Amino acid sequence: DDNVIREFATINRGTAQDKGATRIGNDNLLMAYTHVAHDCVLGDHTILANAASLGGHVQIQDWAILGGFSMVHQFTRIGAHSFAAMGSAIGKDVPPFVMVSGSPAEPRGINAEGLKRRGFDATAIKLLKDAYRILYRSGICLEEAQKKIKALCAGQPRLGILPEFLRNPARSIIR
């Protein structure tokens, strides 16, 4: 419901080799020339800017934004509240709340401005910045970072999606 799908956007149906459906949630914006390949799943309130393209079996969680001409490799997951800059080439999972850019895409920080717009308070944003430092700046292995982030996000229901996402990466995570 309430999706805006602009001119020349393409959405492919699902295949018999997967779930057989491409699913698009509510309140999404697919700008001109965007491409959603077969068996993709888009959550709610996502934005795919002009000519953003998804390979097959991509999952995009709620409130994620892909900049114009971004490309996402098949079987990749894009976490909730994440942001990909224009022209990003995404070949690995993007954790929730993280901003990425480049080709190949690299992590650039937390999507703090988007989180403020969605009502996240200063405490939650600080915790996410701490989680980002643990994941990307501490130099520890992913398994140890997962444990620390889980402890950091405990008692914060809105932030619990981060340790859950990190628990089962599909194509590894951008690191």
CATH architecture of 114-167: Up-down Bundle (1.20)
Q: What is the pLDDT of residue 16?
A: 86
Mean pLDDT of 45-63: 98
> What's CA 66's distance to the chain center, in Å?
8
Measured distance CA(49)–CA(127) in Å, rounded? 29
Residue 32 structure tokens? 């001109």
pLDDT digits over 87-103, tens only?
A: 999 999 999 999 999 99
Identical topology for domains 4-110 and 114-167: no
pLDDT digits over 88-147, tens only?
A: 999 999 999 999 999 999 999 999 999 999 999 999 999 999 999 999 999 999 999 999
Residues with catalytic roles: 38-39, 56
Instruction: Provide the residue ranges of all domains of the chain, joining segments of one domain with +.
Output: 4-110, 114-167
The lowest-confidence range among 17-21, 80-84, 101-105 is 17-21
User: Which DSSP string corresponds to the chain?
Assistant: ---EE-TT-EEPPP-TTTTS--EE-SS-EE-TT-EE-TT-EE-SS-EE-TT-EE-TT-EE-TT-EE-TT-EE-TT-EE-TT-EE-TT-EE-SBB-TTEEEETTTTEEEEE-HHHHHHTT--HHHHHHHHHHHHHHHTS---HHHHHHHHHHHHTT-GGGTHHHHHHHS-SS-B--
CATH architecture of 4-110: 3 Solenoid (2.160)
Q: What is the pLDDT of residue 169?
A: 73
CB atoms near residue 4 (< 10 Å): 11
